[in-house]
Structure 1
Amino acid sequence: MTAPLALADDLWMVAHDRPNGASFLGIKPLGIGLGAALIAELIMANWLNLADGALYVHPQASRYPPPADPATADVFGRMQQEEAAQRGRRRDVTDPVGLSVEEWIQHLHNGHAQQLVERRLTMSGLAVEESRGGLFRSSRTVVVPQSSSVSGWPAARVRDNLREGQQLSEQDLTLAGLIVATGLAKEALGGIGGRQREFLVHQTQAIMRLPLRELVICAETAVGRLIMIR
């Protein structure tokens, strides 16, 4: 496997890269990361922009068919509906209507983003459903990676490029940012040294567009709030 998956799929794989396929993260931090990753996919595809904490739908978006991917199409459709509702309540406003990125990350993190990503992965055959339980526990269905080679590839790709001094793509820089933001750095990036980390920071500042950097910071802040209220 050489090509990256969609960003949210890559992050899901990193979070589930363990022998039993269970997540390193709890539902809420995983949901924050996946929600931010789906928003990032829409930003990278120029459906959305992010500035000063507000998401803006591309002004020409209504002229084109929705995103072909069901997961991002779901998120984008909800955002279009919210933007239209806000515009309807403020008929005298002609400026673009911004949607709070913090509110949307919160909206997506309570299971919805995870459902969208896991549905996309199972439909592509990269993840499978398993029934798990025991003598004293009722069975439940969980989604796990199809194989360890699939789940291990995204983090390995980032680590290898950093060790070799190779330029990371904007998607992989965003992936690395979300790995750190959600608390997966020890599991996914633990093998890289200080020089590689400096190289990652330099590339992030030089290559990654500002909306994606702001999004990663918002995700990290949201995860930090979870830790503070425990």
Structure 2
Amino acid sequence: MTLRRDQRLWAEHLRVADDLWFIAHDDRTGKPRVSPVALDCGLAGALVGELVLSRNIQVRDGRIHVLTGKLPDDAATLEILENMLAEPHHDVRTWLTYLSQNATTTVTNRLVRNGMLEPQETRRLLKTVIVYRPTDLEGAFWRSGRLEAALAGKRGQTTWGEIFLGGLLGAVGMLQLDLWDDGPRISEFVHGILAKADPSLREITATVHSLIGEAVLRMRH
């Protein structure tokens, strides 16, 4: 399978949370590049954001409003939407806190089901652990490069999904990790354009950042 064909396959199947998972993990070792708390909160935000991008929900003043329309074709986000319908009194902070408890598992399982991750046993500190690695290393590496090109203005028009993903990477601390050569300029661009994005996406990104900050403070005390 050529890289060109892999690019089409991955572009067709990956959602925001999937992209965040791959960019936030070392594609060869499977280890996360950020703390578990940051990863969990970021992926929770991505899952809720997917419902915004598919026009299933809106977030206004911290409240979630479910919209009528076509249901998600993804089991993970459909379950989240159904839970939101069943318990409409919870605000976005509550949902993100709740979803962060299992967000990494939810997204990992989705990628395994779609054939993009596979579990592998590895030895660490005298014990065997399960690490999830991409089934195609070139495809996984390409996700980061693709987003860098989009956010640096090197590849056509940047989508709101890509802007939102960039905002989440900033919220979890990845734009500060020198992941890309154009990192500082990309960070400036993302923060500037995110201010013009759907208010729902701005609220989710800000809440993710806030939850991570609060968790860090709790761990320091």
Q: TM-score, normalised by structure 1?
A: 0.82
Q: In structure 1, what is the equivalent of residue 96 of structure 2?
A: 105
Q: In the TM superposition, what is the alpha-carbon distance from 1:18 to its structure 2 partner?
A: 4.2
Q: Are the equivalent residues in 2 in contact too, given 1:22–1:144 (CA < 8 A)?
A: no
Cα distance change of structure 1 residues 167 and 200 upon mapping to structure 2, 3 Å threshold: farther
Q: In structure 1, what is the equivalent of residue 76 of structure 2?
A: 71
The size of the alignment, in residue pairs, is: 209
Question: Which one of the candidate residues 123, 126, 132 is aligned to 1:136?
Answer: 126
Q: Are the equivalent residues in 1 in contact too, given 2:170–2:187 (CA < 8 A)?
A: no
Alignment of 1:48-197 (within 5 A): 48-58=57-67, 60=68, 66-83=71-88, 98-110=89-101, 112-133=102-123, 136-137=126-127, 139-164=128-153, 166-187=156-177, 189-192=179-182, 194-197=184-187
Identity value in percent: 27
Question: Which one of the candidate residues 16, 21, 31 is aligned to 2:25?
Answer: 16
Instruction: Give RMSD over aligned pairs.
Output: 2.2
Q: In structure 1, what is the equivalent of residue 214 of structure 2?
A: 225
The 3-state SS of whatever aligns with 2:105 is helix
Q: Are the equivalent residues in 1 in contact too, given 2:172–2:209 (CA < 8 A)?
A: yes
The 3-state SS of whatever aligns with 1:99 is coil
Q: Distance in 1 between matches of 2:183 and 2:73?
A: 39
Q: In structure 1, what is the equivalent of residue 3 of structure 2?
A: none
Q: TM-score, normalised by structure 2?
A: 0.85
Q: Which of 1 and 2 has greater Rg?
A: 1
Segments of 5+ residues of structure 1 without an aligned counterpart are: 84-97
Q: In the TM superposition, what is the alpha-carbon distance from 1:227 to its structure 2 partner?
A: 1.4
Q: Distance in 2 between matches of 1:18 and 1:186?
A: 19
For 1:156-197, what per-residue CA distance to the aligned partner results, in whole angstroms no more than 9, with x for missing partners? 122213334543100000000000101111346442155444
Q: Distance in 2 between matches of 1:135 and 1:32?
A: 27
